[in-house]
C-alpha cells in the first residue's frame, strides 16, 4: 500500500478504492486531507465498550438488583453494572431477575433466542441434543455399575451418530 498522502507528504492513514465507469480509482489520504475532502471516519468502538455502556445506561429503577450478590464469587449486581463483566458462571443465575430485564431491553422484549438456526444445524440439533443427554446417562450408568443399561445407552448413541 502507498504510504504517503496523495495531497501532501504526510503518511496516508485512509485508503479508499472507488470504481467509476468500470475504472478502479485508489485514493490514499492523511486524516487532514480526508476531512478537507469531506471524508469522515468514525472511530471504531470495541464491542466490550458498547456492552458496558449499554449496561450502565439501562435504568431499572434504583432498587432492582440492589441486594443481588453471587454466593460463589461474591460479586454484586452493582459491581457487574459498573465493570460490565461477570465474576463467574453462577452470576447468570444469581442476577437472573435483573438480567432478564436487561435482556428484554436489548432484544426488543425477547428474553430467549427465537431466531432460526442454519438449515443443516437445525436438522442435526435434535439428534445432537439427544446424544448429549444419552452420554450423560451413560456416564451415570457406568458410575453406578449398571452395565446392561450402559450397553443399551451406548447402542442408542451409536444409532444417533450414524449419518
Q: How confident is the model at residue 60 (pLDDT cuts 50, 70, 90)?
A: very low
Proportion of the chain above pLDDT 70, given as a percent: 71
Name the grid cell of 41: 471516519
pLDDT (tens digit per residue) in 80-108: 888 888 888 888 888 888 888 777 776 66
pLDDT (tens digit per residue) in 31-44: 888 888 877 766 66
**CA atoms of 87 and 83, how far apart (whole Å):** 10
Q: How confident is the model at residue 141 (pLDDT cuts 50, 70, 90)?
A: very high
**CA atoms of 74 and 95, how far apart (whole Å):** 12
Name the grid cell of 161: 451418530
Task: Pick the more confident residue, 126 or 32.
Answer: 32
Q: Is the pLDDT of residue 63 over 70?
A: no
The pLDDT of residue 127 is 78
Amino acid at each position: 500500500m502507498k504510504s504517503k498522502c496523495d495531497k501532501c507528504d504526510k503518511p496516508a492513514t485512509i485508503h479508499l478504492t472507488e470504481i467509476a465507469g468500470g475504472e478502479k480509482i485508489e485514493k490514499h489520504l492523511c486524516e487532514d486531507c480526508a476531512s478537507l475532502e469531506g471524508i469522515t471516519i468514525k472511530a471504531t468502538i470495541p464491542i466490550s465498550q458498547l456492552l458496558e455502556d449499554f449496561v450502565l445506561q439501562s435504568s431499572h429503577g434504583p432498587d432492582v438488583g440492589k441486594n443481588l450478590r453471587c454466593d460463589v464469587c461474591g460479586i454484586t449486581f452493582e459491581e457487574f453494572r459498573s465493570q460490565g463483566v461477570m465474576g463467574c458462571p453462577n452470576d447468570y443465575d444469581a442476577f437472573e431477575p435483573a438480567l432478564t430485564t436487561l435482556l428484554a431491553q436489548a432484544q426488543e422484549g425477547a428474553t430467549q433466542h427465537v431466531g432460526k438456526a442454519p438449515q443443516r444445524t437445525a436438522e442435526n440439533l435434535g439428534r445432537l441434543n439427544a446424544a448429549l443427554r444419552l452420554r450423560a446417562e451413560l456416564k451415570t450408568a457406568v458410575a453406578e455399575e449398571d452395565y446392561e443399561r450402559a450397553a443399551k445407552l451406548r447402542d442408542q448413541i451409536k444409532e444417533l451418530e450414524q449419518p
